[in-house]
Amino acid sequence: DAGVIQSPRHEVTEMGQEVTLRCKPISGHNSLFWYRQTMMRGLELLIYFNNNVPIDDSGMPEDRFSAKMPNASFSTLKIQPSEPRDSAVYFCASSPVWGGGTEAFFGQGTRLTVV
């Protein structure tokens, strides 16, 4: 398996523009997580899906952020409108069956720069 695949790897956009980050989890994994990583705040969980259903989006910073998982093999994280403070590395991770100590498999991340 190719692992968790994220696209794009790098994104530079202007403030106010819409940004869409994409993730393909590992086949057969039923849990999917979106994290954001910055120097100041480290790795923060934004949202968690189980079997394509959003379970908890309390980590989503504002209404400007939204996430979807239309099927088991695809998820998106959208920021509209984007702001410079959204600049960070965004990671998608998947897990076979969450709970009981299952490890999380991370993608390579998308480095977002909002200018």
Partner 1 sequence: SQKIEQNSEALNIQEGKTATLTCNYTNYSPAYLQWYRQDPGRGPVFLLLIRENEKEKRKERLKVTFDTTLKQSLFHITASQPADSATYLCALPNDYKLSFGAGTTVTVRA
Residues near partner 1 (CB under 8 A) are 4, 31, 33, 42-43, 45, 48, 50, 55-56, 91, 93, 98-99, 101, 103-109
Q: How far is the CB of 26 from partner 1 (least distance, A)?
A: 13
Residue 86: count of CB within 10 angstroms of its CB: 21
Q: Which residue's CB is nearer to partner 1, number 72 or number 89?
A: 89
Of 16, 2, 9, nearest in space to 81 by CA = 16
Q: How far is the CB of 81 from partner 1 (least distance, A)?
A: 27
Output the six-digit token pair for 98.
């969450």
Q: Which residue's CB is nearer to partner 1, number 5 or number 72?
A: 5
Q: Which residue's CB is nearer to partner 1, number 37 or number 81?
A: 37
Q: How far is the CB of 111 from partner 1 (least distance, A)?
A: 8
Q: Which residue's CB is nearer to partner 1, number 45 or number 72?
A: 45
Task: Give whole-number Cα distances, 43 to 13, 26, 40, 71, 97, in Å.
Answer: 22, 21, 9, 25, 21
- Provide the CB-side half-sphere exposure for 13 (13 A, CA): 24
Q: How far is the CB of 28 from partner 1 (least distance, A)?
A: 17
Cis peptide before 81 (omega within 30 of 0): yes
